[in-house]
């Protein structure tokens, strides 16, 4: 059995100002060592390796994977320090139906989560883990979520028998020594056990024990079911902790818009999967805006932790330190900054590999390769009728690779959020953008967030799904309690909450054509939001919220007709009657715990629509 190096016990060398002795002697650190010993007794690895997080260690893990063939090295000129990995074909995306919230009470998990009794599940998982690491290396990966030195930062430890997972954690998180250095300041840490196991999808379990700060994951080796700090810790468990402690753990990107006058406006945004969250976070403004001095920079692309500052505003940190983005469809038009970001130090997963040891995926702006090896390892040609890359193929890359990473990205205090943006994929009903009237209305807008599943067949619309705050798969407790927590945050003494927006880049006309050109043009909407939060732009009050006056959106260079612009921003009464009914039905699923305020908001919306209908009827007489 080969090991990449360092073996038990954890003896961090003194580094910049932190004495190793102090780290080791903290009660938390002792608890960690005892826990790791317990896990090792259960899983019986041949070797226990404590990850230090050094480059040297990363290199040795990489070489080990090259030697055992689990990853392949990409061409060093075109993809320096990058590698290629294929996951098991049955392990290519999050397994929502194998994800469980094992809270003590079923009622705490709520109707949107799978609940299983924690005692039963611990027993079942102990059997899964029993001896599962025999003959293998068990890696112990301490990690820090949030910027070093931040009061918002939290620690956790993942043990795993997957070198591939360790390699991903290295890029996505602050791991090893820097994490151990923070143990002394914390009152607890999240424990996560992961094993590749047999990869049997029927025996896959991703379990969260909120009362015990524990995550157990087995029979998976890919994505956020295996990289426990991401969705399992930073969202599912952190959301529970955030409620308890009075902050928000959200599935949101964070960006900074700098106006030509130098003022920075920070925004956070929640979008369900495949709605363009990463490309919005990395947005490249149109040339004219760049020339005028506008800038957009990224702070995070997936998760935001937001705490109140002394001034009553919400300050956001990105708990992660890397991006785990969807490769398929990423190109120089949809996300030019991502293309720059993944030039080096990248792990590509489930894309296709070309004969020149390059990578390719559907939608990439390179020429389609004549031959390549597809994501399943088979020879692929453009005629073969199969996709070369899996639709959920990924790149894992450190945030510092991104040319537009904000210098504020690791500010320990976080950045003050002026606007929260919700968005979904809606071909009808939703205007390009609207602003909620206030925090309670904004909470309702987020709670009733919907998106259509993209379909392969042009002209058809996929099923409409509710995905409240884009947290449906990630809220670790009862969704209605979560909404109540949002409402309570806004009621806190001195709270100065962000404005809330809803955007929709996907509205179509009767001919099934998208109305909005999207991508770089989304800057036009961000600029309107900047103007609104700075009190510099007028808006029209409608039944659903505040809508831009057409002249405040900077659309003149499109030479669009007034009718076209009207269509983009229209609030159509018939569509909204249906929307309100759908929302009422959705909210009623949470009946016993549903905050009355959300029902009141739905009723108020219905009344405003009725008024709007009457007004337009009389105006037309
Ligand atoms: C993700 C997701 O992978 O939201 O980030 O599914
Ligand atoms: Mn996500």
Any idea which of 139-148, 224-233, 562-571 has the lowest mean pLDDT? 562-571
Cα 584 to Cα 449: distance, rounded to the nearest angstrom: 13
Residue 302, ligand 1, Cβ within 6 A: yes
Cα 601 to Cα 576: distance, rounded to the nearest angstrom: 14
Residue 253: nearest ligand to its CA? 2
Residue having the nearest C-alpha atom to atom 1 of ligand 1: 273
Cis before residue 426, ω within 30 degrees of 0? no
Residue 325: nearest ligand to its CA? 1
pLDDT (tens digit per residue) in 570-580: 999 999 999 99
Cα 199 to Cα 132: distance, rounded to the nearest angstrom: 12
pLDDT (tens digit per residue) in 321-337: 999 999 999 999 999 99
Q: Higher model confidence: residue 512 or residue 43?
A: 43
Q: Higher model confidence: residue 468 or residue 10?
A: 468
Cα 593 to Cα 106: distance, rounded to the nearest angstrom: 13
Going from N- to C-terminal start, the domains of the chain cover 6-69+93-246, 250-321+407-620, 322-401
Q: Which of 226, 233, 273, 397 is the pocket-test mutation for ligand 1 (most atoms within 8 Å of CB)?
A: 273
Provide the 3-class DSSP secondary structure of residue 497: coil
Quickly name the fold that domain 6-69+93-246 has: Phosphoenolpyruvate Carboxykinase; domain 1 (3.40.449)
Contact 200, 192 (CB under 8 A): no
Start-to-end CA distance of the chain, whole Å, equals: 85
Quick one: pLDDT at residue 612?
94
Q: Which residue in 42, 53, 44, 65 sits closest to 10, CA to CA?
A: 53
pLDDT (tens digit per residue) in 272-288: 988 999 999 999 999 99
Q: Would the pTM of this model clear 0.85, i.e. be above it? A: yes
pLDDT (tens digit per residue) in 393-427: 999 999 999 999 999 999 999 999 999 999 999 99
| Domains 6-69+93-246 and 250-321+407-620 agree in fold | no
Residue 331, ligand 1, Cβ within 6 A: no
| Matching residue, tokens 């955030």 | 242
Contact 319, 144 (CB under 8 A): no
On the question of pLDDT at 592 being above 90, the answer is no
Q: Measure 255 CA to ligand 2 centroid, in angstroms.
A: 15
Cα 171 to Cα 157: distance, rounded to the nearest angstrom: 16
Q: Measure 271 CA to ligand 1 centroid, in angstroms.
A: 10
Quick one: pLDDT at residue 18?
38
CATH of domain 250-321+407-620: 3.90.228.20
Q: Measure 410 CA to ligand 2 centroid, in angstroms.
A: 20
Residue 467, ligand 1, Cβ within 6 A: no
| Matching residue, tokens 């932790």 | 305
Quick one: pLDDT at residue 2?
55
Cα 165 to Cα 142: distance, rounded to the nearest angstrom: 13
Residue 552, ligand 1, Cβ within 6 A: no
Q: What are phi and psi of 166, to 5 degrees?
A: -60, -45
298: which DSSP letter? E
Contact 100, 207 (CB under 8 A): yes
On the question of pLDDT at 1 being above 70, the answer is no
Q: Which residue in 468, 469, 479 sits closest to 101, CA to CA?
A: 479
Cα 79 to Cα 383: distance, rounded to the nearest angstrom: 27
Provide the 3-class DSSP secondary structure of residue 166: helix
Cα dihedral sign for 195, 197, 200, 203? Answer: negative
Dihedral in degrees, nearest 10, Cα atoms 479, 211, 233, 29: 160
Do the strands 352-354 and 359-360 form a parallel or antiparallel pair, or are they unpaired? antiparallel
On the question of pLDDT at 13 being above 50, the answer is no
Residue 273, ligand 1, Cβ within 6 A: yes
The token duo for 398 is: 């450190």
Q: Which residues pair with 423 in a beta bridge?
A: 503
Contact 530, 257 (CB under 8 A): yes
Quick one: pLDDT at residue 3?
54
275 is catalytic: yes
Contact 347, 85 (CB under 8 A): yes
Provide mean pLDDT across the span 504-513.
93
Residue having the nearest C-alpha atom to atom 5 of ligand 1: 302
Q: What are phi and psi of 100, to 5 degrees?
A: -130, 140
pLDDT (tens digit per residue) in 71-88: 999 999 999 999 999 999
pLDDT (tens digit per residue) in 194-220: 999 999 999 999 999 999 999 999 999
Provide the 3-class DSSP secondary structure of residue 427: coil
Quickly name the fold that domain 322-401 has: Phosphoenolpyruvate Carboxykinase; domain 2 (2.170.8)
Question: Which one is catalytic: 132, 275, 402, 475?
Answer: 275
Q: Measure 273 CA to ligand 2 centroid, in angstroms.
A: 7
In the predicted model, what is the mean pLDDT of the chain? 93
Q: What are phi and psi of 383, to 5 degrees?
A: -85, -5
pLDDT (tens digit per residue) in 365-398: 778 999 999 999 999 999 999 999 999 999 999 9
Residue 99: nearest ligand to its CA? 1
Residue having the nearest C-alpha atom to atom 6 of ligand 1: 273
């Amino acid at each position: 059995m080969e090991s990449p190096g360092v073996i038990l016990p954890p003896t961090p060398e003194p580094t910049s100002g932190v004495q190793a002795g102090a780290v080791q002697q903290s009660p938390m650190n002792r608890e960690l060592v005892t826990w790791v010993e317990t896990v090792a007794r259960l899983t019986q690895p041949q070797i226990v390796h404590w990850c230090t997080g050094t480059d040297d260690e990363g290199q040795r893990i990489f070489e080990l994977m090259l030697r055992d063939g689990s990853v392949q090295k990409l061409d060093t000129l075109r993809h320096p320090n990058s590698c290629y990995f294929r996951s098991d074909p049955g392990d290519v995306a999050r397994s929502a139906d194998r994800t469980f919230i094992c809270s003590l009470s079923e009622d705490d998990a709520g109707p949107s989560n799978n609940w299983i009794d924690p005692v039963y599940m611990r027993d079942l998982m102990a059997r899964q883990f029993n001896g599962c690491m025999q003959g293998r290396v068990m890696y112990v990966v301490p990690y820090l979520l949030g910027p070093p030195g931040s009061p918002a930062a939290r620690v956790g430890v993942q043990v795993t028998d997957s070198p591939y997972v360790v390699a991903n954690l290295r890029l996505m998180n602050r791991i090893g020594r820097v994490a151990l250095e923070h143990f002394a300041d914390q009152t607890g840490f999240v424990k996560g056990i992961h094993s590749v196991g047999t990869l049997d999808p029927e025996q896959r379990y991703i379990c969260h024990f909120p009362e015990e700060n524990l995550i157990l994951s087995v029979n998976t080796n890919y994505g956020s079911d295996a990289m426990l700090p991401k969705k399992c810790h930073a969202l599912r468990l952190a959301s529970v902790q955030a409620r308890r402690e009075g902050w928000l753990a959200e599935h949101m990107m964070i960006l900074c818009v700098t106006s030509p006058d130098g003022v920075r406006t920070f925004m956070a945004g929640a979008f369900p999967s495949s709605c363009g969250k990463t490309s919005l976070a990395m947005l490249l403004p149109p040339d004219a805006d760049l020339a005028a001095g506008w800038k957009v920079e990224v702070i995070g692309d997936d998760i935001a932790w937001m705490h109140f500052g002394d001034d009553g505003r919400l300050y956001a940190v990105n708990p992660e330190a890397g991006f785990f983005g969807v490769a398929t469809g990423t190109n120089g038009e949809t996300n030019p900054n991502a293309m720059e970001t993944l030039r080096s130090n990248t792990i590509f997963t489930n894309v296709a590999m070309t004969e020149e040891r390059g990578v390719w995926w559907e939608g990439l702006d390179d020429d389609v390769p004549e031959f390549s090896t597809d994501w399943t390892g088979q020879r692929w040609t453009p005629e073969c009728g199969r996709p070369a890359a899996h639709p959920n193929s990924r790149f894992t890359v450190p945030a510092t690779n991104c040319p537009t990473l904000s210098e504020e990205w690791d500010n320990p205090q976080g950045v003050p959020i002026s606007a929260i943006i919700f968005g979904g994929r809606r071909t009808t009903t939703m205007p390009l953008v609207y602003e909620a009237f206030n925090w309670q209305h904004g909470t309702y807008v987020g709670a009733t967030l919907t998106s259509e599943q993209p379909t392969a067949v042009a002209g058809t619309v996929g099923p409409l799904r509710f995905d409240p705050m884009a947290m449906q798969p990630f809220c670790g407790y009862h969704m209605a309690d979560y909404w109540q927590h949002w409402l309570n945050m806004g009621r806190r003494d001195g709270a100065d909450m962000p404005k809330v927006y809803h955007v929709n880049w996907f509205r179509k006309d009767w001919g099934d054509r998208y109305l909005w050109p999207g991508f770089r043009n989304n800057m036009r909407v961000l600029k309107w939001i900047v103007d609104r939060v700075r009190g510099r732009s007028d808006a029209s009050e409608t039944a659903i919220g505040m809508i831009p006056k057409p002249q405040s959106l900077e659309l003149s260079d499109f030479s669009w007709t007034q009718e076209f612009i009207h269509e983009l921003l229209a609030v159509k009464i018939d569509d909204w009657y249906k929307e309100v009914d759908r929302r009422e039905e959705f909210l009623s699923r949470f009946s016993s715990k549903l905050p009355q305020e959300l029902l009141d908001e739905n009723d108020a919306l219905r009344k405003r629509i009725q008024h709007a209908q009457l007004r337009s009827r009389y105006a037309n007489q």
